Every structure is written in C-alpha cells, then in structure tokens.
Amino acid sequence: MNIAVVGTGYVGLVSGACFAEMGVNVTCVDINKDKIEGLKKGVIPIYEPGLKPIVLRNYDAQRLHFTTDLPSVLNDMDIVFIAVGTPSDEDGNADLTYVFNVATTIADHLNSHVLIVTKSTVPVGTSHKVKELIRQRLDERGLQELDFDIASNPEFLKEGAAVDDFMSPDRVVVGVETERAKELMTRLYRPFLLNNFRVIFMDILSSEMTKYASNAMLATRISFMNDVANLCELVGADVNMVRRGMGSDSRIGKSFLYPGCGYGGSCFPKDIRAIIKVAEDVGYEMSVLKAVESVNNQQKGILFHKFNRFFKGDIKGKTVAVWGLSFKPETDDMRDAPSLTLINSLLESGVNVRAYDPAAMQEAKIYLNDRIYYAADIYDAANNADALIVPTEWKEFRLPNWEILKKIMNNFLVVDGRNIYNKEELASYGFEYSGIGQR
Ligand SMILES: NC(=O)c1ccc[n+]([C@@H]2O[C@H](COP(=O)([O-])OP(=O)(O)OC[C@H]3O[C@@H](n4cnc5c(N)ncnc54)[C@H](O)[C@@H]3O)[C@@H](O)[C@H]2O)c1
C-alpha cells in the first residue's frame, strides 16, 4: 500500500513513521524545505521519545520518503492523509487555510482514484467541504468521471508518548461514507490492532465531532480539578487525598484528575475555542466549555499569584528560577505553555528569570528571545534565585539536591505547579513550599 502524509509535524511525522514501521510505503510531504532536507539527513525536527530510530530505520529501508512536492507523488497513492496544522484564528475559529491549501493542490493534480483522509483536528463538516472543493475543481478540469473517496481519521496521540500511542492505540476512530474507504482503512490499521481490533467506524460528521468532544472532556476534567484544588486550599483540604478518594470510584477513574497550573499545548486551548465557535455558528452555547476555558485562563496565573503573594507584591528586581518550559514533559512543544504566562507576568513585574528545560530551550528562544537567562541545568537556573517555580514536571526535577539548592539560592520559596514535592521534606531543608490545592 502507498500512502502520503501531508504535513510532517508532530502528528504527520509520527503517523508516517509508524505506518512505515508496519511495512507500508509512506511519503511524508511538507512545504517546509528545511524540515524535509533535515529529515533526509536524519535530523528529527521535534523532540519525541522513540521517534528517531523508527524514522531512521524506515528511511534506510526505503519505506519512508520525504518530499516537498505533493503533485509528483500524488497519483501513485492509495491514501493521502491531511495532517497539517489547524491553529486558532483571531476569533478562536479553527483556521483551515492549510487544510484547504492541501485540498487545492490535490484537486489541481489528481488523475487517479485516491482516498483522502482528514487527520488534522477539524470542525464538523470540514471533510465534506474538502470533498466539495476537490469535486468542483475536478469538474472544472473536465474530470467528471474521476472518482475519489474521503474519510475522517482524527488522531488521539499524546505528545511525549506519541509513538507508543500510535503503535498501541486505545481505539482508532474512522468516519467513512463508502465501503471502499472502510476496506482500505481496515487494511491499513489492522497491523496496529491485531489482538483486539478496535477501529470504530462511524459517519464522517460524528468522527470529526468525536475528536473535539474527547479533548473537551479531558480539558473539562483538568479545569474541574483545578477548581476543586483552589477550593481545597481555601477550606483546608488536601487535593492529593481528594483526588485519590475520587479516582478510586470506577465511574470516575484515576486519569486526568491532576490539578496544576492550567492546560496548554497545541491542542486543548485551540480545540476548546474551536468547539465553542462551532456551537455558536449553529446558535448553541457550550456553557460548560466556556467555564472550562475561563477556569484555565485563571489557573495559568496561579504560579505568579503565589509567588507575588509570598513576597507581598515586593517582587521588582527579584530573581526566579523556572524549571520546565514545554507545556508538558517529554516534548519540546511550547505552544500555549503555562510557563509562558508565568514568565511574561514575571518580566512585566521587573523580575529576572533564569530558566531551564531538558528539551525545549531552543523552542523557548522563539517565544522569549533574550528576555530571560537560559540556564545550563537546574542548579545554574537556581543560582541566586529568590524562588524556584516549577511549571512542568520533567522527571529530572523530581529529586534535586535540596542541600545544594539551599546553599546557592538567595531566598527559599518553592512554588510547585505540578505537586511533585513534599511540603514536610522541603520544610526540613528550610524551604517554604506552595503546591496546588494543598494546606
Ligand atoms: N500535536 C498533537 O499532539 C496533536 C494530537 C492530535 C491531533 N493533532 C492535530 O493534528 C494536526 C497537526 O498538528 P501538529 O501538531 O502535527 O502540527 P505541526 O504544526 O507540528 O505540523 C504541521 C505541519 O504541516 C506543514 N504544512 C502546512 N501547510 C502545508 C501544506 N500545504 N503542505 C504540506 N505541509 C504543510 C507545516 O509546515 C508543518 O510542518 C492539527 O490539526 C492538530 O490539532 C495534534
């Protein structure tokens, strides 16, 4: 089987490499020439555990190819995946420019049957718009007889565990409208689900909606727990205990009950905004999701608020060590990261920032340029700092040497945005501790 994956980002590169790993002949396409040239030389443009060996192995085996030229490969393909970005536009709608650009290129060059699959997260109805656009252009080109299929196959991988998620998915959701599309997608995904075939076929609109509804549910759990955590602090309860007590109820479950400093990343914020807009367009108000978004915006300010409160607002000229910049561990993705909200507030208040992240330092420079000090490691970041603030829970932050930190820091406040430290233990070293939702 020959497939093309258009858009070689977090989703497209992982999908393409993992399909190739199963023996499929895959061409990854991107308009970014540097990215494609880099990939041909073995340079992986993103930090994603386990991805590099799969890319290198399959590229060497000539099952994985890279190109910027979609038209030159299009007509050899059985399936073309669209996996380009769908960021928010100024009003919060999903910006579908990249998706429609790909659709236009396909429409302008298609000469043989193909299945076109939308993998990007798109508002309900987008795949049908892609189909209309291509049909209209083919008709204009005099190709009324040329038939093609469409499908929707939203992606559920998590950055930081993307390869594992793709290789062993909980389920694969596929929206189809023809038997031919269903058969092709069944063949493609069978190797991933040999033991227990969990492809859930449905209509295309429901498939598109499933992706938004899933992200909306996960974001809702996060904002709900952040609300609970904030109340715990006010009434003297400990959210760590509450979480365990709640999560052991099988109707609730343990996942996604961790309070923190707000959700970020390339998906939840934009997808919540987009589903609210989709609803508005059809005259419906997503009241729960509006609250989810509002709680999250407030929660992203909590680390700054705790730091500012500790020093009673006298923070100008202070120095803060920030450990963790990416929106979550095991990725270099900085899109909508809570660390950015924190750092911007600190800088606006005249605070000096010394930051360290195991993977996202290069990416962070795009957002923060020379406004902060980029530290070589956690201790370099903490040197002379008045506070240590942790927005992202990388493993290497879990057991630092508190004795060294006590010696090199100037003041001894730790603001723990992910509840990875123990208040009593830190007190024994002479640190003041402020976590999320704890007494
Ligand atoms: N990142 C995630 O964790 C994740 C998870 C599930 C779903 N998604 C969804 O998948 C989609 C892609 O997300 P991503 O994070 O991989 O995006 P990304 O920004 O990392 O990558 C998108 C790529 O598409 C390329 N591109 C843009 N226009 C193109 C064109 N006309 N032809 C070829 N390439 C083009 C860009 O150069 C870029 O390399 C989004 O809709 C996103 O919501 C993302």
Which CATH superfamily hosts domain 300-434?
A: NAD(P)-binding Rossmann-like Domain (3.40.50.720)
Ligand 1 center–CA 271 separation, angstroms = 14
Mean pLDDT of 164-181: 96
Please give the number of the atom of ligand 1 that sits closest to the Cα of 32: 37
Please give the number of the atom of ligand 1 that sits closest to the Cα of 10: 16
Unique residue bearing structure tokens 């490691």: 377
Is domain 2-202 in CATH 3.40.50.720, yes or no? Answer: yes
> How far, in Å, are 49, 86, 189 from residue 9 at the CA level?
15, 12, 21
For ligand 1, say whether the CB of 329 is within 6 Å of any of its atoms: no
Q: Lay out the sheet containing 413-416: strands in order across.
A: 373-374, 352-356, 319-323, 387-390, 413-416, 432-434
In the chain, CATH 3.40.50.720 covers 2-202, 212-298, 300-434
Please give the number of the atom of ligand 1 that sits closest to the Cα of 267: 43
DSSP codes joined into one string, 176-202? ESSHHHHHHHHHHHGGGGSSS--EEEE
Unique residue bearing structure tokens 């904002």: 223
For ligand 1, say whether the CB of 84 is within 6 Å of any of its atoms: yes
Ligand 1 center–CA 194 separation, angstroms = 28
Distance CA 150, CA 154 (A): 13
pLDDT at 196: 78
For the record, the structure tokens of 125 come out as 């109805």
Please give the number of the atom of ligand 1 that sits closest to the Cα of 154: 7
Which residues sit opposite 151 in a β-bridge?
117, 176
List, for residues 95-149, the tens digit of each pLDDT value: 999 999 999 999 999 999 999 999 999 999 999 999 999 999 999 999 999 999 9
Please give the radius of gyration of the chain, using alpha carbons only, rounded to the nearest integer.
24
pLDDT at 395: 97
Which residues sit opposite 374 in a β-bridge?
355
The residue nearest atom 36 of ligand 1, judged by CA position, is 7
For ligand 1, say whether the CB of 4 is within 6 Å of any of its atoms: no
Is a pLDDT exceeding 90 seen at residue 195? no
Distance CA 377, CA 323 (A): 9
For ligand 1, say whether the CB of 11 is within 6 Å of any of its atoms: yes
Q: Which CATH architecture has domain 212-298?
A: 3-Layer(aba) Sandwich (3.40)
Distance CA 36, CA 44 (A): 10
Residue among 10, 39, 43 to mutate when testing ligand 1 (max atoms within 8 A of CB): 10
- pTM for the complete prediction? 0.95
Ligand 1 center–CA 50 separation, angstroms = 19
List, for residues 265-284, the tens digit of each pLDDT value: 999 999 999 999 999 999 99
Distance CA 300, CA 222 (A): 12
